[in-house]
Amino acid sequence: MQSLYSYDTLKVLFNISIRYLLFTGTFYLFFYVWKNKRYWYSKIQQRYPGKQHIFREIKYSFFTVLIFGAIITLTILAGAKGLTLVYAPLNKYGYVYYFFSIVLMILLHDTYFYWTHRLMHWKPLFRWVHKTHHLSINPTPFAAYAFHPVEAVVEVGIIPLIAFTIPHHASAIAIFGIYSLLLNVAGHLGYEVFPKGFASHKIFKWHNTSTHHNMHHRLVKCNYGLYLNFWDRVMHTNHPDYEESFNQVVEQREQGKIIREALKESAKANLTFAEPEKVLPEI
């Protein structure tokens, strides 16, 4: 049992920092630097955030990483003393339960996030706490961890909640953590990456898209969910134009593909074809 939780605080902080930088940095460099012209047509809000905006997101994320590291370390120490429901070996409860436990974590977190997020929009908490996150009206991947310290404590609270309520293998909660960060980054990416028809599909509509959370940052009082579109549908907090907005971004993306193909063909035929300006001013 001790070997499952042998990390010290510095190792935990290092792991969280590397994971944050790897995910947010890679997505930022790919979409905003290396391929910004290619994927401009997938941009949900077509203006690009300025340097001060990005610096602010990274600054708050730094403090979030410290808070996450402290609380996760305490949870690890509790596990080392046998106080949590972590187990070993991996197949102790069978492989079916192993994968089910990951799904259970996602469902629990989705519910936890929706209702704590709604709480954060209570006027006193929004003004003093959650407003920090909403400074990113046009978010980048770095906004994934850009929280006020109080909100950071609430966000990481899902880890001890899982640890004390769901029997789990250490690798299962690690997989959950990666999935959680990936969806968090996708929600703050600023680009729509989900396929055409996703938001209205009879099955896939229950999963959120990049447009869904981007609308929350822009419009504030709607679209509170994280992974799934369950609670927003049940509580009628989806923005009424959500599906239309998603379809508009996807249509814009499809038109971009047509324009790029036309450019390639015109280049082959040595024709002149004026491509529209892509990079708009920073804000």
pTM, 2 dp: 0.89
Instruction: Tell me what pLDDT residue 189 has.
Output: 98
Q: Quick one: pLDDT at residue 177?
A: 96
Angle at which helix 158-165 crosses helix 149-156, to 10 degrees, equals 20
Helix (H, G, I), strand (E, B) or coil at 271: coil
- Compute mean pLDDT per 10 residues along the chain, 283 residues long, and list them: 52 88 96 93 93 97 95 93 95 97 98 98 97 98 98 98 98 96 97 96 97 98 97 98 97 88 75 54 55
pLDDT value for 13: 82
Q: How many CA atoms lie within 13 A of 121 on its CB side?
A: 16
- Where would I find the H helices in the chain? 9-28, 51-80, 95-120, 123-125, 131-134, 149-156, 158-165, 170-187, 210-219, 230-234, 242-268
pLDDT at residue 9, as a whole number: 67
